[in-house]
Chains A and B, each alone.
Chain A
Amino acid sequence: MEPIEFTEAFNMIQIYRLFKNFGPNTAIRDLNLRVHEGEFVFVTGPSGAGKTTLLRLVFGVERPTSGHIVIHGVNLSRVSRSKLDLLRRRIGFVFQDFKLLPKKSVFENVALALEVTGERTSMIRQKTRQTLKLVGLAGKEKAYPLQLSGGEQQRVAIARAIVKDPLILLADEPTGNLDSDLTEDIMILFRSIHMKGTTVIVATHSRELLQDTAQRTVLLHDGRIAEA
């Protein structure tokens, strides 16, 4: 794998004057944000505030209309597609709808994130088992996603996102489909991942999730930061 040149270590994510339009609609307008290395940030706001768009922009799935996003010193506006692929290996993404492959086992779904890097098979097996144990899914390796509960499926998705030891973990409404007990379990998991030094950004509109939290919260409204 070609090494990515890192020029700045303190700010993991820097966003400058970011705009994103979808046709005539503006999803993100003049957004500026800095997230430090190892920080845990909640991005919240009502539906349509731009939370998902912001996460997709940071992940490089969407391109900004204008402005800049710098991830660990790499400017996404100037990075080539092949380098963006390599950068994505350093970022884990957890989707609300899990995005698991139903015809692949739990083990295969998680191992997929390492297979794309060309790791050795023995290393992939070892790392995948370790990660599944970490998220509490030891013994479920051979099960298929549809045989699991919603909470377990989300754990598989989290395992897939963290198996490659990402610098950043992005989660878009990760507890949106889960009841309150499972939500608590998942949040404990995110905090444990954060404790290991990973920068974590969780987008949520759940007030329950933000109650009693000591973490920084960024409130989005109509594509702008209303409160940070």
Chain B
Amino acid sequence: MTPRLLPYFVKQAMRGILSNRGVHAIGVGTMVVSLLIFSTFLLLFGNLNNWIEGWGHAISMSVYLQDEVDETGRDEIAAVIQDLPAAEIERFVSKRQALLDLKRALGSQAGVLDGLSHNPLPASFEVIFSHTEAQQVDLHTIKQTLEKMDGISEVQFSDEWLHRFKGLMDIIKLIGIVVGGLLCLGIVFIVTNTIKLTIYSRREEIEILKMVGATDWFVKIPFLLEGAIQGILSGIFAIGLLYLGYFLLATKKMHLLGFAGLDFTFLSYAYSLSIVLVSLALGLLGCFIAVGRFFDI
């Protein structure tokens, strides 16, 4: 197979697409819809993941002090906390302030606290840890270290909600893989049948080509190019439509839904390119299946 045949193959592929434009249009349309569903899922999943990662970057910790800690001890503890990686003291909550906060939280039920002979609530430091993952901060170790210090009665933090969210994201990811896999199978099925119809409509030409000594590959390559072109076009159209939808709807809807503060970003170039390449690969795969079954002349 010589390189000078390439223009011939491209010409034949284009001719094939144009002469069966109806079949190819339906094929491309269906592929675009499938890819659009998958890339929309990818877009939503990616952004949701980013938000959760962002929330996970700032975890708050309450460091409760023993009642007998004086001002010097409190300053020492504050200094230790400030030295912790990624930590920042948001505020100091005195015993009195803690009781006031509790009363405010209880609202009309605050009267139940009136009978207390003394304030049982401890003073505490509210500490914020930012970018814990980036700085590889182990909050459990910090908790244990702080609890061993004199003057600290207890340390509390909760990253359980984060774990739950991440668990949910894992399930969504799994659903995405299953749905994506099914859509890929659907795409291969569509391309296979589109190319089969094209081959069928040109069976007379194929028969004659074989009669004059064309090799199987000589006949197959234009069909493979048709599948590749169908795949690339579908990928580009799907990404284009997704971007259009993102541009027209996403930012406005975010404001309407009250998520204006959240950054809703489009798929990265790498992801967009991957979708086009996957579409190309699926187009080629569908073609390989279609032409593989046909040639027995």
Chain A residues packing against B (C-beta within 8 Å): 59, 61, 81-82, 85-89, 93, 99, 101, 103, 112-113, 115-118, 120-121, 160, 164
Contact = CB atoms under 8 A, between A and B. Distances in A.
Given A85-B213, A121-B4, 9 more contacts: A82-B215, A86-B213, A88-B210, A112-B209, A113-B212, A113-B213, A115-B8, A118-B1, A120-B4
A59 B211 CA distance: 9
A85 B208 contact: no
A112 B216 CA distance: 15
B30 to A, nearest CB: 27
A89 B211 contact: no
Contacts of A93: 211
Contacts of A85: 210, 213-216
B228 to A, nearest CB: 21
A101 B213 contact: no
Give the size range of B's interface with the partner: 20 to 34
A88 B205 contact: no
A121 B2 CA distance: 13
Contacts of B297: 61
A112 B204 CA distance: 13
A82 B216 CA distance: 8
Given A112-B209, A118-B1, A118-B2, A101 B204 contact: yes
B218 interface: yes
24 contacts: A61-B211, A81-B216, A82-B216, A85-B210, A85-B214, A85-B215, A85-B216, A87-B213, A88-B211, A88-B212, A89-B213, A99-B204, A99-B208, A112-B209, A112-B212, A116-B209, A116-B212, A116-B214, A116-B215, A117-B213, A118-B1, A118-B2, A120-B4, A164-B212
B36 to A, nearest CB: 35
A116 B218 contact: yes
Interface residue SS majority, chain B? helix
A130 to B, nearest CB: 17
A160 B208 CA distance: 11
A154 to B, nearest CB: 15
Contacts of B211: 59, 61, 88, 93, 99
A115 B7 CA distance: 12
B5 interface: yes
A120 B3 CA distance: 11
A112 B215 CA distance: 13
Given A85-B214, A88-B213, A118 B204 contact: no
The 6 A-B pairs of least Cβ separation, nearest first, read A89-B213, A116-B214, A88-B213, A113-B212, A118-B2, A85-B215
A118 B5 contact: yes
Given A101-B204, A101-B205, A116-B218, A160 B4 contact: no
Nearest to B5: A118
Interface centre among B4, B207, B215, B218 (most CB of A within 10 A): B215
B5 A112 contact: no
B193 to A, nearest CB: 23
A19 to B, nearest CB: 22
A61 B204 CA distance: 15
Contacts of B212: 88-89, 112-113, 116, 160, 164
